[in-house]
Amino acid sequence: MNNQYIKYALYGLSTVIATELVYNYFRRWMKRCAEIRASRTESEIADVIWINEHTQDCAVKSEKNSPKFFHNGNKCKNMFCYPRNIRKIIKFIDNAKYSIDLSMYIFTSNELALAFHRAIKRGLQIRIVSDQEMCFSSGSRITELTKCGIPVRFPNATNMLMHHKFCILDGPGRSRALSKMQKKPFENSQGILFTGSLNWTHQGFNANFENMLITSNSKLVEKFEEEFERMWLSFNGQDLNS
């Protein structure tokens, strides 16, 4: 009987110890999950660029009395300033690792075109969906980018404007596809989405009331990736280079 009591006692003790171990493991796991969620929240990008009546507050007048913006690095305190806004976008483009998918009605900005040229030199895969008429408009940077091998496609429906203004940097879906195509692993990267009313033009960045949302929200990035990919495939055969 004594041996039986000892056996029961050992079983009970083992159960208590196992329960305590499981509880402590679960508690540490929950704590780690909370830390991961917190770090993701802290690192998530959520910003808006506004262009409004204050955009030219930091501009000086040239001899011809036309607005001429002075570029003073990051010292400008005007959050609506054109150079400040353009630098913010360029910084994201310059930090992109794998891909850029652009759907833009009008693209005439020289600064952003130069950022695209730097991205090409870094080996990024770039695709552009644009409006066929605006692509060939005066000052368009899209036609010059095609000379660097960037494919551009237009809608098949000629009675509809391609009026989108959004850009996806390092979209997760695109990164996975490129990794598979190139047969090499890609490091995890944060997808970035630009979207809003803003065309990439001097007029848009300087003289209109405009907005651009900048976000790394994975659900929003995914939705825009899906639509870009749908357009890209449905416009198949409409490459500008061809």
pLDDT one-digit tens code per residue, 7-38: 666 666 677 676 777 777 777 777 666 555 54
Tens digit of pLDDT for each residue in 182-195? 888 888 889 999 99
The alpha carbon of 172 is separated from its chain's Cα centroid by a whole number of angstroms, namely 10
- Whether residue 171 is found in the same domain as residue 205: yes
- The partner residues of 125 in beta bridges, in order of sequence, read 99
Annotated catalytic residues are 163, 165, 170
- Whether residue 73 is found in the same domain as residue 60: yes
- Whether residue 90 is found in the same domain as residue 174: yes
Q: Identify which of 209, 236, 164 has the alpha carbon closest to the alpha carbon of residue 56.
A: 209
Radius of gyration of the chain measured on its C-alpha atoms = 26
Query: Rounded mean pLDDT of 114-122?
Result: 97
- What pLDDT is stored for residue 59 in this prediction? 72
Assigned domain for 196 exists: yes
- In percent, the amount of the chain with pLDDT more than 90 equals 56
Residues 107 and 131 sit within 8 Å (Cβ to Cβ)? no
- Whether residue 13 is found in the same domain as residue 77: no
Burial 33-62 (b: 16+ CB within 10 A, else e): eeeeeeeeeeeeeeeebebeeebbebbeee
Residue 242 has pLDDT above 60, yes or no: no
Residue 53 has pLDDT above 80, yes or no: yes
Calculated CA dihedral for residues 53, 55, 60, 65, nearest 10 degrees: -50
Does pTM surpass 0.75?
yes
- What pLDDT is stored for residue 161 in this prediction? 92
**Is the CA virtual torsion 155, 159, 163, 164 positive or negative?**
negative
- Whether residue 49 is found in the same domain as residue 110: yes
Q: Identify which of 213, 229, 221 has the alpha carbon closest to the alpha carbon of residue 172.
A: 221
Query: Rounded mean pLDDT of 213-238?
Result: 92
Q: Identify which of 239, 113, 241, 121 has the alpha carbon closest to the alpha carbon of residue 167.
A: 113
- What pLDDT is stored for residue 184 in this prediction? 84
- CATH code of the domain covering residue 78: 3.30.870.10
- Whether residue 6 is found in the same domain as residue 100: no
Q: How many domains does the chain have?
A: 2
- Whether residue 72 is found in the same domain as residue 176: yes
- What pLDDT is stored for residue 241 in this prediction? 59
- Whether residue 63 is found in the same domain as residue 101: yes
- Whether residue 186 is found in the same domain as residue 127: yes
